[in-house]
Structure 1
């Protein structure tokens, strides 16, 4: 063990070593797990999980650290050949202190410094863009950058613009968080509100929370309808997008998905060949035909589909400017909404005084974006994009690297 706390109990020290033996595949489950854990996760199933983890991250090499919560509970970091894993462990309170809970909560890629992590992101198949920017002083050079002005599909990260405009309207007194509106138009998952009754009464706060925390598409499309295209276009411009017309109109999630369908080929071609004003008119005419019934989810989930044309686009620099706009202008309520889902393991997020997140994903598109304030009071924005028009992406690959990047940034 590279690091342990001086107050570490004898049973935690022993069981931490047992965890390493378990992760290496030693068949000691019946000895070290209590009966309840063995019933919930039988030894054969546990070994299958361990095998999957080993195939992805390499052999477990050592327990790097033990952060004891009390005499019978701790967070372990495990050094694998290709990653660093975080493991929560709980023990029985009485002797022999067998393991009653064991949970692998996440992985981050190995990299001794930010440059090495950025190089690993750059080596992923496809196109990658990244910008890590300190925000406290204007004009500071980036902490790290990789094609920061490249144009990338960002999927649900576009919902940050919707939150920014909703927040502006509330602060201006045009709306209130408690305003009740009818849910709709409905969209497809992700989310939960697509299963609620049609025209359910919901508050703007509920819609914003669903949109950001679980990327609820029906909540998002409802907010787009309520806010309107003119206001959305204005916030895209004010927040510093390099080419605001590219997000005008700001497509509803249902509309973007439907336009990708073969049944709408003619409509898609007309839409893509039009200018922003023309696209707005066409979308108004097409909307009644762009129904959920016309969606073929095999097309949406199988492989990338028109991600270079029918998407929401921004550069990493655009996203950093948007995050900084939110830092400087958004209300405490909106900043709190951004904290609900950290996107990475909670233990990594706890290294920061403030940890705001919104991501986006679909086949061929990943976008991870963070608004951060360190324990020392330093503010950062992190925008990471990965696009590949040919294949679906392995989210865990970029998530592990991004988690490592954010952890290294917290140490600065």
Structure 2
């Protein structure tokens, strides 16, 4: 394994024919090179967890990270490798304080909070600017889920209610490619919104729920400054307002009060079209992330996660646990693992609602903003994975 991960040309001997056909040796070495550039040289196999006679999970210690590898062998001699998958990485750090220090050293602004929820008066397990104002991107969708769940539990709606899809937004997601006004259930929209951060599903739910109800849930979930999320912009609206063609509208919107912003959005909406979006602006570098975004502090998000823990239905908690956001091996260390992230150029937000195997509840919010440069997701993800694993070991 170490020879393979160090790019020695032994693939034809070590891999079976089916694996070599699926991943030719040159392609495999290119992948190994990318991993090495990011995580350093592979130093040692730290552990081998045999699942049966022919498969195991390995941990590989690299210079800067610890990688998890699933390996499968042929059942018959010569037992060559028939499957090999790198499933995730975590940063090296012997304790939570070291990992937090590494997050703090990233370029830009960082904020995090790790809180045990069963003892509210207990000091945070870890904190870094927990009351700072951060752009959170798609993590705002947790507020939408919270209000949808509240309305269903109150009997105002049902998961099976069918609504028309729209307004359409840009990816991420898949529903932007569905027929206009497709009939979809609220359950489908919520699942798409949380599990794959589907923007068109999100904007549909914002339309169905309404700004007054969204403002109420933002307050109820303990946001320290609810006006930061009023109005709660649709994803299409937020992206369109960043475009040069809408510079005049953007200036009006940013200089307005929350009530005036709601009126302006209604006035501008027909002009904030998908065809006015320039994908180069959306994907190239940070654009107005300190002005046109969804804002919260790590402490706000931890309060929101705790609100969901206490008040949300089992159905919403199940939806929240569909996509763990990090490697499945890290998620398997927990009895419950809920996740919602957010990302755009210059913005990353990783948020977890966790229950340990022994029944303790935790919330974790990690945020990284950089108004000048795009942030690399893998840098924060390896550190956050290490943080989650260290928390599981407490």
Please name the residue that 1:315 is paired with.
297
Instruction: Give 1:56 deviation, angstroms.
Output: 1.0
Are 1:185 and 2:167 counterparts?
yes
DSSP 3-state at the match of 1:352: coil
CA distance in 2, matches of 1:23, 1:283: 53
**1:64-213 alignment to 2 at 5 Å?**
64-213=46-195
Instruction: Give 1:130 deviation, angstroms.
Output: 0.3
Instruction: Give 1:227 deviation, angstroms.
Output: 0.2
Give TM-score scaled by structure 2 length: 0.99
Where structure 2 has 5 or more consecutive residues not aligned to the other structure, the ranges are none
Instruction: Give 1:42 deviation, angstroms.
Output: 1.3
Select 1:50's aligned residue among 32, 46, 62.
Answer: 32
Select 2:220's aligned residue among 234, 238, 245.
Answer: 238
CA distance in 1, matches of 2:271, 2:248: 12
In angstroms, what is the RMSD of aligned CA positions? 0.5
Please name the residue that 1:331 is paired with.
313
CA distance in 2, matches of 1:190, 1:44: 31
DSSP 3-state at the match of 1:202: strand
**1:233-272 alignment to 2 at 5 Å?**
233-272=215-254
Which has the larger displacement, 186-195 or 35-44? Answer: 35-44
Deviations 1:315-364 (A, max 9, x none): 00000000000000000000000000000000100000000000000000
Task: Return structure 1 stretches of 4+ with deviation > 6 angstroms.
Answer: none
Instruction: Give 1:30 deviation, angstroms.
Output: 1.0
CA distance in 2, matches of 1:399, 1:108: 7
DSSP 3-state at the match of 1:285: helix
Please name the residue that 2:259 is paired with.
277
Give TM-score scaled by structure 1 length: 0.95
CA distance in 1, matches of 2:262, 2:9: 63
DSSP 3-state at the match of 2:329: helix
Instruction: Give 1:50 deviation, angstroms.
Output: 1.1
CA distance in 2, matches of 1:233, 1:56: 42
Instruction: Give 1:388 deviation, angstroms.
Output: 0.2
CA distance in 2, matches of 1:68, 1:138: 40
Instruction: Give 1:72 deviation, angstroms.
Output: 0.2
Deviations 1:236-259 (A, max 9, x none): 000000000110000000000000
Where structure 1 has 5 or more consecutive residues not aligned to the other structure, the ranges are 1-18
